[in-house]
């Protein structure tokens, strides 16, 4: 994977373009750490292990970054869950760039990528305190499902899914 592809402009936010990126770039790793620190502060946790960016380098996976003037402002990834299901992980928008439609466009791009990769369903998970994320996912047609059996979801997790 290169640094980024040509990308897709975010409607209404002319300077923001979304494209594929290498999840091992230092700027991508820093965004993943920013996301983790924010989640840690919300739920009273302390994460010491690095973000698992290698999950976005397996077959049928993708990692996208939204950039403004070349600087990263948001990211999100897609990886396989099973043969027909992709899971969207690590969706994060820097606080100064929130409420501009970037997360919505990033989700649309990830869903389109899921379809290109042959998935028929996508899943997401978030935390119960992240009401903005839950509302975003619901507005995009995701429905809550039990997290039962998901070892990768914390006890504060909320799981949602959508057919493509």
Q: What are the structural domains of the chain?
A: 8-163 (3.40.630.30)
Q: According to the model, what pLDDT value does residue 2 have?
A: 39
Q: Which helix (H) or strand (E) holds 86?
A: strand 85-93
Antiparallel, parallel or unpaired: β 62-68 and 71-80: antiparallel
Which of 2-16, 33-47, 81-95 is the most confident on average?
A: 81-95
Quote the tokens at residue 62.
Answer: 């993708």
Block residue for tokens 């028929």 = 120
- CA angle, 3 then 5 then 7, to 5°: 130
| 88-117 pLDDT per residue, tens | 999 999 999 999 999 999 999 999 999 999
pTM of structure: 0.89
């Amino acid at each position: 994977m290169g640094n980024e592809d040509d990308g897709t402009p975010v409607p209404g936010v002319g300077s923001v373009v979304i494209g594929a990126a290498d999840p091992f770039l230092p700027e991508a790793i820093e965004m993943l750490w920013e996301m983790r620190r924010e989640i840690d502060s919300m739920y009273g946790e302390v994460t010491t292990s690095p973000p698992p960016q290698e999950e976005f380098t397996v077959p049928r996976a993708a990692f996208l970054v939204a950039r403004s003037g070349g600087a990263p402002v948001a990211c999100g990834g897609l990886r396989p869950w099973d043969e027909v299901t992709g899971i969207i992980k690590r969706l994060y928008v820097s606080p100064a760039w929130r409420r501009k439609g970037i997360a919505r466009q990033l989700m649309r791009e990830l869903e389109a990528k899921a379809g290109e990769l042959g998935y028929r369903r996508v899943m997401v998970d978030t935390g119960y305190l992240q009401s903005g994320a839950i509302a975003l996912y619901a507005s995009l047609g995701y429905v809550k499902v039990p997290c039962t059996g998901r070892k990768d979801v914390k006890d504060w997790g909320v799981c949602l899914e959508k057919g493509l």
